[in-house]
Homo-oligomer: A and B are copies of this chain.
Amino acid sequence: MKILVQREDFDVGAEIRALAGHARIGAVASFIGLVRDLNDGSAVATMTLEHYPGMTEKAIEGIVAQAKGRWEVLDCTVIHRFGELKPADQIVLVAVASGHRGDAFAACEFIMDYLKTRAPFWKKEQTPQGARWVEARATDDEAAGRWQRKEPGAA
């Protein structure tokens, strides 16, 4: 397991290769989030990611622990950047290694959905209309909520 919150970019190929290389792994699902040059109808020149140092790492650890409790996760890497980013820059990587693809996909998407709604990061965009904080989306809460409805015993 590897969790990094860093200003620097990351190398997706190297990170995936570095996942525990044992031969019980049959599936690696991964996700990369990138800065788009257009958001909510405005051109985005640069984006600044603020975070809560210390809490971010703990929040991601907690999310990964939940994923491990629900699916077979043989190894997992989460890297989230902060600081100033430009369009097409990488923001986040989640890579999950498992025996089977169903577990790898589910754990990877779960970690992303929870990270979007529970890890203390905030995006501020510079647009031609000035700087603005990105608003949280109801669709992100819904995406995270899907997983709760699937939990046994949950309402």
**Interface size bracket, A side:** 35 or more
| 1-53 of chain A: CB within 8 A of chain B | 11-14, 16-17, 21-38
Given the complex of chains A and B, what is the CA–CA distance between A30 and B23 in angstroms? 20
Is the Cβ of B14 less than 8 Å from the Cβ of A35?
A: no
Give the interface SS of chain A, mostly helix, strand, loop or mixed.
mixed
A75 to B: closest C-beta gap in Å: 12
Interface centre among A26, A37, A88 (most CB of B within 10 A): A26
A109 within 8 A of B: yes
Is the Cβ of A101 less than 8 Å from the Cβ of B105?
A: no
- Contact partners of A109 in chain B: CB under 8 A: 101, 105
Is the Cβ of B29 less than 8 Å from the Cβ of A33?
A: no
